[in-house]
Structure 1
Amino acid sequence: MTSAAYQLAQVNIARLKAPLDSPQLKDFVDALDPVNADADTADGFVWRLQSEAGDATDIPVFGDEWLIINMSVWRDANALTAYMYQGRHREMLARRREWFEKLQEATATLWWVPAGHRPTVAEAESRLLHLRTHGPTPYAFTLRTSFPAQGAEPVALEVPEGLGCSA
C-alpha cells in the first residue's frame, strides 16, 4: 500500500545505436509523441521530464550525447507497470534492441519522492549510480526488488561520496 504522501519516480536511460535523425531510429522518433501522449493520460501518471520539444531526447544525462533519458513520476508501481506493459509502450519495449545498445550496468531505477516533488536529472543520475554500486535499497530500487514508500529517503539528497555526476 502506498502512502499518498509519496509518489514513485522512475528513470531509465538508453544508449542510441544511431543518431536520432537517422533512418534506423525513424520508427522510434515517430512513436515518441504518441507514446508520451499515452503516458500523459494514463491512470496514475503524475509528471514526466521534457524539454520545450515535448520529450526528453535533447536533455543531457551523464555528459554522454549518445545517452537519452526518460524520467517520470507515478502514483505507484502498479500504475507505472500498467502503462509500461500495454499498448504502444509495450510495442516499443519489444523493439528496443533495434534502437538501443544493450548495456551491462543498470539503466533504470525507482525511488519514492514526496508528493509534488519533481526530480532533477542530477537526482536521477545519483539514484542510478547508487543502484549500480549498492544494488536495490530504499534509496534506489527496481520493480523486481522494491521497497515501500515508508522506506523512502528524504528529498534533501546527499550524494554518496564518489557517486557525484562528473558532467
Structure 2
Amino acid sequence: MQLALYTFGVLKSPLADPAPLTEEFYEIGEAVYRTFSQHPGFLAHAEAADGERGMFFGADWGAWGEFAVPAWYDKGRTRETTALATTLSLWTGLRPAFDAVYTGLHRTALNRRYDWFERTGHPNYVFWWVSDGVIPTWRDGVSRLEHLRDHGSTPHAFTFHDSFAEDGTPTAPKSRPDRA
C-alpha cells in the first residue's frame, strides 16, 4: 500500500500577482518540491505535462486526472485569477510524510502560511491509502478532503493527528508520527 496526500489552500492573492510576497511563495514552493523529491519515502507527485506556472485548470495532468478543486474554492480559474496552492503526492507511509512536512524548509514555510493563505475554516490536507501502482486523481483528493470536512477522520480520509493504518484500524496515539 501507498499513502496518498492531497493538500489545498486558498491564497490571499492570485498566483499571477507580481507582488514580492507571491514571488517569495513561488521560490519557497519550488525549493520545497526539490527537497521533497529527494526525501526518503517520497514516491511521486502530480505534475502538469504542459502547465505553465500558475496554470492548473485545463493543464494535462496525465494519470493524475482532470484538475479539480473543493466546492468551497470560489476564486478565479484562469491563469490570471487562480488563487490556490495544491499538491497531490504519494508516500510510502505516515512517518516519512510527517518528517518531510514538519521538518526543514517545509516547516519554515508552514510557519509563514498565514502570510500567503486565507483561513478558510476547512481542512487543508487529507491522507488515504491506495493500492500499490494506483495513481490517485485530483478528483479523489477533493472527494477525500470534502469527506474529511463532513465526517472527520475515518479510514477513508484522515489527518496526521487522527490517522489510520492500512487495514483501517486507528493508529495508536503513541505510535502516530505526531506523537513520536
Equivalence for 2:86: 69
- TM-aligned CA distance change 1:54 to 1:90, over 3 Å: farther
Deviations 1:34-77 (A, max 9, x none): 21111110000001111136898532432743333111110000
Which residue is 1:45 aligned to?
A: 42
Structure 2 CA distance for partners of 1:42 and 1:55, relative to 1, 3 Å = farther
Q: Do the aligned partners of 1:45 and 1:73 also contact (CA within 8 Å) in 2?
A: yes
Q: Report sequence identity in percent.
A: 32
Which segment is superposed worse, 18-27 or 73-82?
Answer: 18-27
Matched, 1:17 2:24: no
Task: Give the number of equivalent residue pairs.
Answer: 147
Q: List alignment gaps of at least 5 residues for structure 1.
A: 1-5, 153-167
Contact 1:50/1:56, CA 8 A, preserved across alignment:
no
C-alpha distance in structure 2 between counterparts of 1:56 and 1:77, whole Å: 29
Structure 1 residue identity aligned to 2:125? A
| TM-score w.r.t. length of structure 1 | 0.80
In the superposition, relative to structure 1, how do residues 14 and 96 fare at CA in structure 2: closer, same or farther (>3 Å)?
Answer: same
Match of residue 28, structure 1, among 18, 25, 28: 25
SS in 2 for 1:150: coil
**1:11 touches 1:110 (CA, 8 Å); kept in 2?**
yes
Aligned residue type for 1:8: L
Q: Does 1:102 align with 2:119?
A: yes
Equivalent-residue separation in structure 2 for 1:21 and 1:115 (angstroms)? 37
Residue type of the partner of 2:9?
A
User: Does the Cα contact within 8 Å between 1:56 and 1:69 map onto a contact in 2?
Assistant: no
Q: Deviations along 1:80-112, whole A, 9 cap, x unmatched?
A: 011111111111111111111011111211000
* Equivalent position to 2:138, from 91, 108, 121: 121
**Partner Cα distance (1:150, 1:55) in 2:** 39
- Give the gaps of 5 or more residues in structure 2: 58-67, 78-82, 170-180
TM-score scaled to structure 2, two decimals? Answer: 0.75
Q: Does 1:140 align with 2:157?
A: yes
Distance 1:148 1:57, change over 3 A: farther
